[in-house]
Structure 1
Amino acid sequence: MGDGESINATKDPWLHLKADFCVENSHIYSGRDELVSAYIKQDTREWNIPLITEKFVSEDVQAILFVPIPQRRTRDRLVWSHSTTGVYSAKEGYRFWQNQVWFMTCRKFRTLLYGCWENYRQLGTKNSGRYVQLSGIWFWRNKKVWEDKSTTPTIAMDSSLKIVADWRDVRAKNKTNSSVPKSKQGSQRCRWVASGEGILKLNMDASLFSGAPDFTVGMVSRDHKNTFLVGRTSCFRAPVSVFEEEAIGVREALSWVKDMQFNACKVELETDSLLVVQGIKNSVINLLEVGEVLEQCRRYLRELEGISIHFIRNQANRVAHKFSRITCLVNCHHVFTSPPVNLVETLVLDSHY
């Protein structure tokens, strides 16, 4: 849903919580042709709860209020709900129907595969190689189904045996590496690293409190000496997915960079959401609600010079995470020119790594 100007509230499929995406017993709403936009407060971009409660049955009221309203006006879009991008293709349609048939008619074969997988996980011995071989055979089966690439049984079996050999080599190396102290394994990738001189580092994270109808975005900027420069928290209505929540956070961080004129120097924006970073950089068409947010992020990156976006692990994003736990009112924000008390210890720990 975008602005709701082209969605019929009682006839069109638009409710996420419903199996068929439509209102319950649509016949009770016969003769009504209201658009979804009629139930949105245009000035505050919120649902008109009293009007919705008056016009719909309780089951539909809950489903309607669950649908997020974009804070910026966007057009409505027709999407394929069984795809991660909302784009329909023959491949996606085939996959959907194959999954339906697989679920309904192949219970015995699924039980066999699940049993093999459990044995593979539990045995951890040379017998597990049999199940790795099975996965290799399944790989070539998928090649035929999805890419129409065929091979001979001999090549398929040789490939499966090679997978087994590689798998055993990896297990042997893992056993060797397990004796190395964890502090020496990948420590560089699990901590915050200061930027180079003349470069600002802006860390961002989003947090959703359990049971709350909104989420908070925290942003912290530091220089190459790990000096706290400025921070900001913003609160928004909770979206449908964590993916969209993190994408909104990145968009707000980029907007803040533009408003504060951080782009006068180089800025490195860091987030612990790999999906968002990949979604922005890949430029894949996404018709779901999050697609519009990703496109807004790309527009900001094209407008702003000297800014880059990177993925980091959540262990290296602790300051931004704690900042995002500072609550504020919905659709409002707070700016901090000095770090809050609960953030000082984490800042000190980052500077001593």
Structure 2
Amino acid sequence: MGGEANKCKERLNIMQPVTTVQDQIMWHPPDIGAYKLNVDASLHIGECMFTLGLVVRDDRGQFIRGNNMRLAGEVSVMEAEATDSQLVVHALDTENVYQLEVGHIIDDCKEKLNERADLSVLHVKKQANKAAHLMARVPCLLNNYNYFISPPDLLFEMLTSEFPT
């Protein structure tokens, strides 16, 4: 009987869902009393445009504001990905001078960050940046922006499931 019970346990273990590391990566709230801004970019290759999505949430995960912008123009992948690149976060945190195509943007950001001790820049993996990713996909007219004081329907379910109140 003991052998059969072990075989049964083994079969049940095989049937259990496997949790991957990616499944465990999720959005985390800022410190109490603080806000968190998540940003994502979406390139529209061949269409000469790009979209940015921004979402601000509080320490309880509540949607505070959101924005998306669709802008005309060609941007490099490096420029677009500068919004959520771990390399850029590292560049902002060092004294190095960058000669890359986004070097002037990094310098401008460093200057602004030096003016505000209450701001910080952190990189999060895309699995923890779903709200900004979706916000970049909310329909928007070219060379225009949408300003949201409540989450668009596209984000509502994700925000609720990601950080329930």
Runs of 4+ with deviation above 3 angstroms: 184-188
What residue number does 1:137 align with? none
The structure with higher relative contact order (CA 8 Å, sep 6+) is 2
What residue number does 2:125 align with? 313
Query: What secondary structure does 2:120 align onto?
Result: strand
What residue number does 1:296 align with? 108
Written as runs of structure 1 = structure 2, the 5 A alignment for 1:1-353 is 182-183=18-19, 185=21, 188=24, 190-236=25-71, 237-240=73-76, 242-247=77-82, 249=83, 271=84, 273-352=85-164
**Paired amino acid for 1:206:** A
What TM-score do the two structures reach when normalised by structure 1?
A: 0.39
Structure 2 Cα separation of the partners of residues 182 and 238 of structure 1 = 42
Residue correspondences, number: 148
What TM-score do the two structures reach when normalised by structure 2?
A: 0.79
More strand by share: 2
- Structure 1 residues not aligned, in runs of 5+: 1-180, 250-270
**Paired amino acid for 2:108:** Q
Structure 2 Cα separation of the partners of residues 218 and 184 of structure 1 = 27
Structure 2 Cα separation of the partners of residues 283 and 243 of structure 1 = 20
**Paired amino acid for 1:239:** V
Partners of 1:201 and 1:221 within 8 A in 2: yes
In structure 2, do the counterparts of structure 1 residues 186 and 239 end up closer, same or farther at CA, with 3 Å as the change threshold?
Answer: closer
Partners of 1:244 and 1:293 within 8 A in 2: no
More helix by share: 1
Q: Deviations over 1:79-99 (max 9, x none)?
A: xxxxxxxxxxxxxxxxxxxxx
Instruction: Report deviation, 1:197.
Output: 1.5
What residue number does 1:26 align with? none
Larger-gyration structure (1/2):
1
Partners of 2:52 and 2:69 within 8 A in 1: yes
Instruction: Report deviation, 1:338.
Output: 0.8
In structure 2, do the counterparts of structure 1 residues 235 and 284 end up closer, same or farther at CA, with 3 Å as the change threshold?
Answer: farther
